[in-house]
Amino acid sequence: MLLKWQFNLLTALGVAALLLVLANALLFTQNRSVQVLLTQRQQFIQQTVPLEGLYRDIVKALAEMAVKGNDRQVLDMLAAQGLSVTVNTPPAPVVEAAPRKGEK
């Protein structure tokens, strides 16, 4: 037969174990839902990586057309997306002086 303090101790340990099992089940469920969300995000990223080159080409073409046509609305739209467009002026052609008569 158990003494009263032994019975109380075993009951308290049983309740603590039950609470730990319930906490474990709750954490498992929460972790599982976070893992599903993370997997979905990872899949989205993996599917969009191959499109990065295409997006870069589209932005480049938009910027070139906006600069050629002096389209301020398109340039403003690109700027609103965090893309700054700078116009590179072509370097001036180098003109060599013709040798003077009698020089080599």
Look at residue 89 in the predicted model and tell me its pLDDT: 67
Residue 34 burial by CB count (10 A; 0-12/13-18/19+): exposed, middle or buried? Answer: exposed
pTM of the model: 0.46
Q: Return the domain boundaries, the chain.
A: 7-80
Among the listed residues 96, 97, 93, 73, the one whose alpha carbon sits nearest the alpha carbon of residue 85? 73
Dump pLDDT digits (tens) for 16-35.
999 999 999 999 999 999 99
